[in-house]
Amino acid sequence: MVDHTIRVLLVEDDRDDVALIRAYLREAQGFRIELEHVDRLSLGLQLAESGRFDVLLLDLCLPDSWGLETFRTFHGHAPRIPIVVMTGAEVMENALQAVREGASDYLFKGELGGSLLIRVILYAIERARRFRAEAALLASQREMEIARSIQMGLYPAAAPKLPGYDIAGNCFPAESVGGDYFDFFHMPDGGLVIAVGDAMGHGVGAALLSAGFRAALHSLVLTNRSVGDILGLTNQTLTNGSTLVGFGTLLLIHLDPKSGSMVYASAGHEPGLILDKTGRLTQTLPSTAIPLGVEPNTTFPESHEIKLAPGDILVLPTDGFRQAWPEATTEAAVEHLVEVVRRHREQSAANIVEALAAAVCSPWAPTSPPDDFSVIAAKLAADIHLAHSPSTTEL
């Protein structure tokens, strides 16, 4: 019988916070959570020696330890236990630095919520499991060769050829293999489905999850006309207890090439961008739902019909471009990406993709960026003739 028990060690000295966390964890659905609580770092270190805990919730400010040293001491003593640090929003830098040094995630006490807490715990456990799996794979050259073969099979051999359209896509992993994914699907009705996704993390574990995305999509796209339904069915494969487990984002677009009309659905993915022929950002494609693999019964709404115009450029990135400038705000990172597209808008879609990759990689040269980066660019010719849009139900 499969044990669905999650064993949580809570090191926290505030009684009110302990009571709140206990109440939230009792709300967990689908598995049982065993919580053990102590109020001192020294006691937590003793319990960690048993090796029976799946995750640690660690208050950074304890009676016998304070600040980052609390995390550093525990992480050094029990490096295999995934740690979620908890602190106040006023000391955000401590939380961020702990993540940089190996913590799985962080939570602000004043912003705790039941679903957020449970999601962070699951993420920390899954992230630790995938890191362990990745380390095991990297220890074997043969297994690495298999992982590379899987990765090579994820990407289309060539971009689709459509009259009046110039389309290109590419992936630039941060390591030998990565978790980003993109693909194109020609539909029986003449439409084109464009997919771009990002499995949790990067490296071998993420690459294997991306392979699962691809397998699910190839079995679903040609039999489902709704991109929202496709995301819903893909999500079920990640949450129904199958061997394909993990979190990820995925953006699907159903494009009618004759009319230039499109609808999309996005599971937590980085917003797509539409620029006009002058290089002006005219529209973004924000997420319509939470990421895949979080909740089993999530629905993924589709957008309204969007009409592309002659000369428009559709840009679909993963979040690797934001990671390239970690000190920049999201708005500043997006503006940087838009400026790169604007400068190269007269060039081919393939050149735009390469220019974006260069912009992402250049701040980190000669090392690799901290995250995978993938992008699709689709340009409409300035003289393309677009037919009258069919209704969205016909898409």
User: pLDDT, tens digit, for every residue of 98-153?
Assistant: 888 988 888 888 777 778 888 888 888 888 888 877 776 666 656 556 666 666 66
Do 264 and 374 fall into the same domain? yes
Q: Which amino acid is at 383?
A: D
The three-point CA angle 261-236-232 to 5° equals: 20
Structural domain containing residue 124: 5-138
Nearest-CA neighbor of 176 among 156, 212, 209, 147? 147
Q: What is the pLDDT of residues 322-351, one digit of tens each?
A: 877 777 788 888 999 999 999 999 999 999
Compute the residue count for the chain.
395
CATH number at residue 17: 3.40.50.2300
Phi/psi for 343 (5° steps) reads -65, -25
Domain boundary among 138, 166, 190: 138
Residue 144 lies in a domain: no
Do 80 and 207 fall into the same domain? no
Q: Which amino acid is at 253?
A: I
pLDDT at 221 over 70: yes
Q: Taking the model in full, what pTM does it have? A: 0.61
Do 108 and 158 fall into the same domain? no
Residue 295 lies in a domain: yes
The stretches of the chain forming alpha helices (DSSP H) are: 15-26, 41-48, 68-77, 92-100, 114-138, 141-152, 204-220, 227-239, 320-323, 330-343, 349-361
